[in-house]
Amino acid sequence: MVLEQEIKLAIMSEEVLDFSALPIVGYQRSSIETMHLVSTYFDTPSFNLAKQGLGLRLRFDGKNWLQTVKEKGQIENGLHQRLEWEHLLPDKTFNVALLRQTPLQKLIEDEKSWETLSPIFTTDFYRKHCLLEKDDQITIELAYDRGRIYTEVSERRIHELELELKRGDLHYLTTLAETLCLTEPLQPSNFSKAQQGYKLAS
């Protein structure tokens, strides 16, 4: 279990962002890597997990399968703070023993509800990302996501930046986000990909 702290910035433009040219001052920037991430989100037909403020995701990153449970947590001015349980899997089959160690335990014990669990929506996007470091005390992952969220009948685009605090004081994360918003077509977003997906699904 970890506390995830990240700021989501919606990109208010259709144009592809020049990720390498973002004005990052005062940080040492790692090389940029690109990943293709496909994630399927699961819930019961009546959205029991969403009603409890929980999300369950199965993700393939091009090499590995991962299962992730997230709480909704607190969201304000684009800052998302929530608990997360993430584990590597040998294949695309949930590890129920590990899921029992998360807030999903009650749902798993309700066998009838657990058996109704099914895919609700999928996110499919390319992510460019790098690490930003300052003074050996601050590490921030900067990511540019571009793709789509879809259900069987509808879809919407993904076009956003994420800044996730890996190490250090939260002040540096919020300051960097504010600085980027001054020069780029960005706007803080309180809506996670999961929330956008549920909106499509409902």
CATH number at 93 reads 2.40.320.10
Q: Give 193's contacts (C-beta < 8 A, 6+ positions apart).
A: 39, 123, 149, 158
Residue span of the structural domain in which 62 resides:
2-201
Distances (CA, A) of 136 to 3, 5, 52, 57: 21, 19, 38, 33
152-174 pLDDT per residue, tens: 999 999 999 999 999 999 999 99
First to last CA, the chain: 29
102-113 pLDDT per residue, tens: 999 998 998 888
pLDDT band of residue 82 (cuts 50, 70, 90) is: very high
**How many domains are contained in the chain?**
1
Distance of CA 87 to the CA centre of its chain: 15
For the segment 92-105, the average pLDDT, to the nearest whole number, is 95
Q: So what's the pLDDT on residue 101?
A: 95
Integer Cα distance of 26 and 97 in angstroms: 44
3-class DSSP assignment, residue 136 = coil
Q: What amino acid is encoded at 140 in this protein?
A: I
Integer Cα distance of 71 and 164 in angstroms: 16
DSSP annotation of 44 reads -
4-37 pLDDT per residue, tens: 999 999 999 999 999 999 999 999 999 999 999 9
What percentage of residues in the chain have a pLDDT greater than 70?
A: 100
119-139 pLDDT per residue, tens: 999 999 999 999 999 998 999
pLDDT band of residue 39 (cuts 50, 70, 90) is: very high
Q: So what's the pLDDT on residue 125?
A: 98
Which residues face 131 on adjacent strands?
141
Which residues face 164 on adjacent strands?
6, 141
Integer Cα distance of 7 and 188 in angstroms: 7
Average pLDDT, the chain: 95
**Burial of 183: CB neighbours in 10 Å, binned 0-12, 13-18, 19+:** exposed
